[in-house]
Structure 1
């Protein structure tokens, strides 16, 4: 048992896929244990600084081969640092996974029993191709939903469940989406539940430069909105952005809407400038005519 091992929350559901460990894994080597301890110390340092600065920490998700470890770290940090009604540490649920809804439910209920405010960022997912390829190579069922509509349904149901939960209790929800329908549905339900301008329990998030029309609309409606900007080596960032473009078609449709609204706004501003110019020219002509009349008189 590693010296930092502490109480955490459920990271699996009965329907979760376990084909990554068809055989009992070998014990960690001394080097691996050392690396794991370093990761834990770094997370602790980040959380301590976040607590000191009152800045929330959202831990992202990866593919299913390493996600249980990430969830373990995340929920350990949540148990240690989340106090009161607003979570400092939030984890991420990928709705394109078949067990996403059940894992979200189990984790939330376990947190409730502990009196622990838990936060989730809800995304659709980013590793569809690699997950299906790995499952196929092992001759097992893919952990990813069979259709995009199933993923949409899972995302919306998870969002609806968490909105119900946080509207009357502790916790927080970040909806990371570029999908207009999901955004509208969540915003309407939040309004119906009384979650709005003065609440810090709900936030909408999207990539910087994408789904701007939706972001502005939600912000103008009084909801919390954030834009995130990936940074790092081009060799790592470009595959990340390409996965978003390939596996989140809502992002592309939102971009089309953004472009349409941008062109519309440019035309409005050009027309406004033209009319303003004509008005100024007319005013100048009237002034000049008045001066001429004054001179003749």
Structure 2
């Protein structure tokens, strides 16, 4: 049966509001459905006015550099200042990317030199260490500063079952390490489905799922119960022709991949450690969502989501897919956990779409992406305030952080709340992280670990996909420079 979607005009009305009102739509039943999902305030309580940008901007104290960085050693501030300044210079980033990718520099003594420089700069700034033990020390360090850590075993793509099994052992060990650290210092263990299921198989599964979206009579005998993966606006151009069914070997490999994920999920259930599934590009994202949602149905119980999915809000269909997934989860009575991000595969998505002769699935402007993130954030904050589910707001955008923090306080989630977590990448937007923490919110840093060569794809993505974000780190650079100047002056006088 084809997925029933909510009309686009209704989804577009899910705008960022500080109060929830019934939505107007020409389709009464759809409007009623949306209104029932967005909790209304009691009629006796007059609705407060929406916060203006100026009001929301003043919600978090992000100007007191001394307070923000009080728990950060001077040596760390010096390294952060140097790396952030270097990554703000385009030619420096270009040379760094070339050096990390160049085959000429990936052999012998030159390789050792490139790896050594990378380790002392990008790696030490953006990563938590070469193994789980080192990552544990980094987690303790950020925890002493009032933050938490997301443990990220830095392996990415696998191409055969042997590699997938090896990667699974790394993820299982990560859960064991999280249990050995101080209580609540680790907020999530992160998994990439691309590391425990061969990439070629994920592409095949995604093709089959897309074709079933086109043709509801298309039978997938291996498919388990899941939440909606697509909406009417989801890109399906990756699969222009009807794909062949999975071969016997592919079904066997699919079963092995599912067993790996279930073993990891069960270990997280036993450890009461949430497992967050990272998102990828749209070529394989349908299969990743399928794995995520089918596992959530099996393991998310009561009001305790163990399996979290990721929504990339730079995609035009993000809001609608989020609504459909939460609606379906409500219907079958499971709590869902979501991480909202803007996204990190913009150039890849545009190139893939262009190769098929289609427009990019990414929003046409950064403003549209910001609006989508803020709208999805507001929708989920309202939803989890008095209901089931949990939310991770992964953002480096100060305005989005302010808006969400103000919204959370307004609906009674201002104190430390297990349902809401803010998150930023290790080495990025530390001022926002500490500002949110000082305001009483749980805040995590995304902390990948592993040998330098293993996490190289992650480092390249930070340099390539987030080049604009790195260049926009002037806010942090200015505050760090201010605090370093204060400390120098204090030591002299």
Task: Give the TM-score of the pair, scaled to structure 1.
Answer: 0.86
Query: Would the alpha carbon gap of residues 3 and 26 (structure 1) be closer, same or farther in structure 2, given more than 3 Å must change?
Result: closer
Aligned to 2:379: 161
Q: Distance in 2 between matches of 1:180 and 1:242?
A: 24
Q: Distance in 1 between matches of 2:272 and 2:414?
A: 22
Deviates more, 1:107-116 or 1:235-244: 235-244
Aligned to 2:265: 47
What SS does structure 2 have at the residue aligned with 1:80?
helix
Query: Would the alpha carbon gap of residues 134 and 3 (structure 1) be closer, same or farther in structure 2, given more than 3 Å must change?
Result: closer
Aligned to 1:284: none
What SS does structure 2 have at the residue aligned with 1:229?
strand
Q: CA deviation at 1:211?
A: 0.5
Q: Distance in 2 between matches of 1:158 and 1:224?
A: 19
Aligned to 1:125: 343
Match of 1:194 among 412, 432, 438: 412
Please say if 1:60 is aligned against 2:278: yes
Aligned to 2:441: 223
Q: Contact 1:85–1:171 at 8 Å: present in 2 too?
A: yes
Q: Distance in 2 between matches of 1:251 and 1:214?
A: 14
Please say if 1:109 is aligned against 2:109: no
Match of 2:369 among 133, 142, 151: 151
Unaligned runs of 5+ in 1: 276-297
Query: Would the alpha carbon gap of residues 245 and 187 (structure 1) be closer, same or farther in structure 2, given more than 3 Å must change?
Result: farther
Q: Contact 1:180–1:250 at 8 Å: present in 2 too?
A: no
Q: CA deviation at 1:259?
A: 2.1
Aligned to 1:95: 313
Q: Distance in 2 between matches of 1:208 and 1:35?
A: 34
Aligned to 1:77: 295
Q: Contact 1:178–1:250 at 8 Å: present in 2 too?
A: no
Please say if 1:14 is aligned against 2:232: yes
Q: Contact 2:416–2:442 at 8 Å: present in 1 too?
A: no
Deviates more, 1:47-56 or 1:33-42: 33-42
User: Considering only aligned residues, what root-mean-square deviation do their CA atoms show, in Å?
Assistant: 2.0
Aligned to 2:392: 174
Query: Would the alpha carbon gap of residues 236 and 98 (structure 1) be closer, same or farther in structure 2, given more than 3 Å must change?
Result: farther
Q: Distance in 1 between matches of 2:329 and 2:468?
A: 32
Q: Contact 1:197–1:222 at 8 Å: present in 2 too?
A: yes
How big is each residue's C-alpha offset from its partner over 1:198-236, in whole Å with a ceiling of 9 and x where there is no partner?
311111111111110100011111111111122346456
Q: Distance in 1 between matches of 2:401 and 2:453?
A: 31
Q: Distance in 1 between matches of 2:357 and 2:477?
A: 43
Q: Contact 1:96–1:124 at 8 Å: present in 2 too?
A: yes
Aligned to 2:253: 35
Greater C-alpha radius of gyration: 1
What SS does structure 2 have at the residue aligned with 1:140?
coil
Query: Would the alpha carbon gap of residues 25 and 3 (structure 1) be closer, same or farther in structure 2, given more than 3 Å must change?
Result: closer
Q: Contact 2:393–2:423 at 8 Å: present in 1 too?
A: yes
Aligned to 2:427: 209
Aligned to 1:280: none
Deviates more, 1:80-89 or 1:96-105: 80-89
What SS does structure 1 have at the residue aligned with 2:415?
coil
Deviates more, 1:3-12 or 1:31-40: 3-12
Q: Distance in 2 between matches of 1:108 and 1:273?
A: 54
What SS does structure 1 have at the residue aligned with 2:421?
strand
Q: Distance in 2 between matches of 1:164 and 1:268?
A: 41
What SS does structure 1 have at the residue aligned with 2:448?
coil
Q: CA deviation at 1:239?
A: 3.9
Query: Would the alpha carbon gap of residues 177 and 245 (structure 1) be closer, same or farther in structure 2, given more than 3 Å must change?
Result: farther
How big is each residue's C-alpha offset from its partner over 1:102-154, in whole Å with a ceiling of 9 and x where there is no partner?
00000001111111110110111111111111111111222111111111111
What are the residue-to-residue correspondences of 1:282-293 with 2, within 5 Å?
none
Please say if 1:26 is aligned against 2:244: yes
Query: Would the alpha carbon gap of residues 230 and 71 (structure 1) be closer, same or farther in structure 2, given more than 3 Å must change?
Result: same
Q: Distance in 2 between matches of 1:36 and 1:185?
A: 42
Q: Contact 1:179–1:254 at 8 Å: present in 2 too?
A: no
Q: Contact 1:211–1:254 at 8 Å: present in 2 too?
A: no
User: Which structure's residues are more often helix, by fraction?
Assistant: 1
